A and B are shown apart, each in its own frame.
Chain A
C-alpha cells in the first residue's frame, strides 16, 4: 500500500517536473540566446550554454535608450490606468448584474453576454475610434477598446453572486447606501477575484499591440510590445517573401540580429515575470464561470 502510494507520487512529481521544464526551458533558451555572441549563433545555432558570451545585444538596445524608455513609459501608463479603471468598471458592472433584487439583471446579463458572441468587427471599430471619437494617436485608443471584457464581467459576476444577499440587506438596515455597500463591503469581500482579474487585465494591457498598430502613428506613443512585434513581423515578412526582396534588394544584415531580438523579448516580458508571483497567492481561491449556486 505504502509502496504504491509512493509510486503514484513519483509519477505526479515527474509529470509536473516535465511540465515545468517545458515551460521554463524555452525561456531560459531565450535568455541564453540574448547573451550569446552573434557569430557563434550563426555557426552553432541556439545553445543553452553560449560558446562565447556577449552583452552586445543589450548594448545595442540600450545604446539609444530613448525609444525603449518611452515605450516602457507608454506601456506602464496604459497598463496601470487601464488595469485600475478596467477592474473598477468590471467590478461595478458585475456587482449590478449579480444582485438578485435588480429587476433587469437577466436582460443586462444577456446584453453583456451578447457582445461575447457578436462584435462590430475590425472596420467598424476602426471607424468609430478614428472618425467619431477622434482618438488616433491618443493613449485612450489603447485603453478604451479593451477596458471592459464581457468574459471578465461574467467571471466576476460568478464570484459576487456567491456573496449572500443577507449581508447587503443587513448593511442597508445599518443605513449604508449603494456606494458604501459596494466599496466597503462588496469590494473587500471580493479581494481574491479582484486580484486575479487585476492580473489578467494587466496582462492584457501589457501584451496589447494590435490596437497600437492600428491607431498609433506617433513614434513617441508606441508601446513596448508593438516595437517587438514590428521587428518580428518585418523580419518574418522579408524572409518569407524572398521573391520580392530578392528583386528589390533589401539588406537583411541591417536588422537586429537574433540575439537582439531575444533581448527585446526578455526586456518586454521581464517585468511581468517579476509582478506575477505577488499575485500568485490569490489564485488559491479558484474562480468559476457560470457554476450553479449551492
Chain B
C-alpha cells in the first residue's frame, strides 16, 4: 500500500513540475510585472521609445482600467464615440474597462499580480502609485512625458509631479483638480438668516459658540454642531502658529516662525481642541450619541446646523446642498488655502506590462487636452445623455444611461463642462488656489515606518480606543488624558517619537533646511 502511494505521489509531483515548467516558460516573456527584477529590461524598453512616431502610426488597441461608482448602461456606445476621436487623432482604439469602485483594489491587485497585459490604470487614494512602484507594477514615464506630452508636462504644477515621483522618477499623470485645504464652517442658511449670524465676526473655531447656543435653545430638533467621531477638528494643521507634519499620526507639528523646525508633539493648542469638544458636549452642542452614530444619517435629514469641513472649495455649496437634505448653506472659511504637497489622490499610470506605452501616453495627453474627448468620457454623448445649456453649462438628461458623475477619474477636471450650481469661473479659481496656496515647508517629508511598525500599531490601537470619545467630547478630556497618555507611553510613544525625530532631522539636513 505504502509503495503504491509513493508511486502515485511521485507521478503527481512529476505532472505538477511539468505543468509549472510550462507555465514558467510562457511567463518569462510576458510576466515581468510582479517583481522588481523586471525593472531593468522594462526601463530599457521605455527609454528607447518607438522612433519615427511622428510619421505613420500602426493601429493599436489600448486597455484602460478605472473605477466607477456605478457602471454605466451605455458604456459601449460611449466607447464607440471615444474610438472615433482616438482613431482619427492617434490611430488607436481604447478598450474602456470600468470596475466598480468597491472592487477596484482587489481586482487590480489580481490583474497586476497576474502580469496581465494592459496599458493604463487609474491610481490614487486607495491604490497608491508609490506602493505599485514598490511592487514593480507601473513604469516610470519621464521620457514618455517629454516626448509625447510636453504641453501636459508644462500644464501640471511641479508640486504635483513631485508628489508622483518615487526615487526621482515620475510614475503618474495627475487628474488635476483642487489640491489644497481650507477649513471652516458650513452653516445652514436658514439658521444663519434667522439668528442674523455675523459671519465676518467668526475668525476661529471658538467664535461660533454663541450661535451654537442660540440653536440649542431655540431649535430642539436640530443638532447644533455636526461632529461624529470620524473627523478631527484640528486648526493647527495650519494656522498662524503651526504646520502639521504630514504622513505621520497628525500629532506632530512645527511652529511656523521657527527656523530650527523643532518638532512639537501634542502642543497645548491642539489639546485645547479636545477641551473645547468636551465643553461643547456638556453644553449639548454636540449630539449625545455622536461617538457611535453616523454623520450621514443626520446630514441627509438636514438636522445639522453647523458642520466643519477641511476643503471649502469653490462651488462646495452646491455639492453640500445635495447631501444636506436640500437645504441651502453658507460657508465661513477660517483659514487661507494651504497644501501639504500633492498626495497622489487621483492619477493615471502606465502598467509595466503595457504593450504600447508610447501610444498610452499619447492617449493620456489627448484626454487631458482634448475637451471633446474628455467630456465625452465624463458626460456621455451630447443630445443623448445630456443637453447643452448656456455657455459652458450642461444638464444631464433625467434618465440618462451614461452619467458616471466622476469627472476626476478620467483627467484634468479643468476641461470639464460646468454643471448647474457651479460658478462660471470655478476652474480659474481652482487653478489659482492650486498655484497660490501656501505650501507646507516640510510637506515633502516621507516617513519610513518600518523600524517602528509595532509601536505604530500599538499607538493606533490606543488612539482607536479613545479617539471617537475625545473628538466628540463624550469623554471628558481632563479626566481621560492622563490615563490615555500613560497608555500611549506604554505602547511605545517614546520610541516612535525618537524614530520620527531622527528621520525628520535627516530630512531637514538633506533638504538644506537646517545646517
Q: Interface on A for B, CB 8 Å cutoff?
A: 42-43, 63-64, 67, 103-104, 106-107, 110-111, 122-123, 126-127, 130-132, 213-214, 217, 219, 229-239, 241-242, 244, 246-255
Q: How many residues of B contact A (CB 8 A)?
A: 56
Interface residues of B in 277-327 (CB under 8 A from A): 294-296, 300-301, 309-311, 316, 319, 322-323, 325
Q: Indicate whether B90 reaches chain A with its CB closer than 8 angstroms.
A: no
Contacts A230-B102, A234-B69 hold; do A242 and B230 have CB atoms under 8 A apart? yes
| Distance (whole angstroms) from the CB of B386 to the closest CB of chain A | 14
A contact residues around B403 at 8 Å (CB)? 254
| Distance (whole angstroms) from the CB of B81 to the closest CB of chain A | 17
| Distance (whole angstroms) from the CB of B67 to the closest CB of chain A | 9
A contact residues around B106 at 8 Å (CB)? 213
Which of B76, B178, B295 interacts with A247 by CB under 8 Å?
B178
Which of B71, B103, B125, B322 interacts with A241 by CB under 8 Å?
B125
| Distance (whole angstroms) from the CB of B298 to the closest CB of chain A | 10
Residue ID in chain B nearest A107 by CB atoms:
B8
A contact residues around B101 at 8 Å (CB)? 233-234, 237-238
| Distance (whole angstroms) from the CB of B210 to the closest CB of chain A | 27
Q: Indicate whether B345 reaches chain A with its CB closer than 8 angstroms.
A: yes
In Å, the complex CA distance between A251 and B403 comes to: 11
Task: Please choose the segment from B108-116, B165-173, B191-199, B263-271 that sits at the chain A interface, where 4 or more of its residues have CB less than 8 A away.
Answer: B108-116
Interface residues of B in 498-514 (CB under 8 A from A): none
Q: Indicate whether B481 reaches chain A with its CB closer than 8 angstroms.
A: no
A contact residues around B346 at 8 Å (CB)? 248
In Å, the complex CA distance between A123 and B108 comes to: 11
Tell me whether A234 and B113 are in contact (CB under 8 A). Answer: no
Q: Indicate whether B206 reaches chain A with its CB closer than 8 angstroms.
A: no
B contact residues around A43 at 8 Å (CB)? 301
12 contacts across the A-B interface (CB closer than 8 A): A106-B1, A132-B23, A219-B73, A230-B100, A231-B100, A233-B102, A234-B69, A234-B100, A237-B102, A242-B230, A247-B345, A255-B69
A contact residues around B71 at 8 Å (CB)? 219, 230
Residue ID in chain B nearest A104 by CB atoms:
B8
Which of A106, A127, A131, A254 interacts with B5 by CB under 8 Å?
A106
Q: Indicate whether B134 reaches chain A with its CB closer than 8 angstroms.
A: no
| Distance (whole angstroms) from the CB of B510 to the closest CB of chain A | 29
A contact residues around B316 at 8 Å (CB)? 249
In Å, the complex CA distance between A237 and B68 comes to: 12
Q: Indicate whether B405 reaches chain A with its CB closer than 8 angstroms.
A: yes
| Distance (whole angstroms) from the CB of A105 to the closest CB of chain B | 11
Residue ID in chain A nearest B8 by CB atoms:
A107
Tell me whether A123 and B309 are in contact (CB under 8 A). Answer: no
Contacts A251-B319, A251-B322 hold; do A127 and B405 have CB atoms under 8 A apart? no
In Å, the complex CA distance between A236 and B69 comes to: 11
Tell me whether B309 and A246 are in contact (CB under 8 A). Answer: yes
In Å, the complex CA distance between A123 and B116 comes to: 11
Q: Chain B, 71-107, contact with A by CB distance < 8 Å: what is the 0/1 string?
A: 1010110000000000000000000010011110011
Tell me whether A250 and B115 are in contact (CB under 8 A). Answer: no
Tell me whether A250 and B102 are in contact (CB under 8 A). Answer: no
In Å, the complex CA distance between A132 and B114 comes to: 12
| Distance (whole angstroms) from the CB of A17 to the closest CB of chain B | 32
Tell me whether A254 and B405 are in contact (CB under 8 A). Answer: yes
In Å, the complex CA distance between A234 and B107 comes to: 13
Tell me whether B296 and A213 are in contact (CB under 8 A). Answer: no
Tell me whether B70 and A231 are in contact (CB under 8 A). Answer: yes
Residue ID in chain A nearest B112 by CB atoms:
A123
B contact residues around A236 at 8 Å (CB)? 102
A contact residues around B69 at 8 Å (CB)? 234, 238, 250, 255
Given contacts A214-B107, A231-B100, A242-B295, 12 further A-B contacts (CB under 8 A): A43-B301, A126-B110, A213-B100, A213-B103, A214-B110, A219-B73, A232-B102, A238-B69, A241-B126, A246-B310, A248-B408, A251-B323
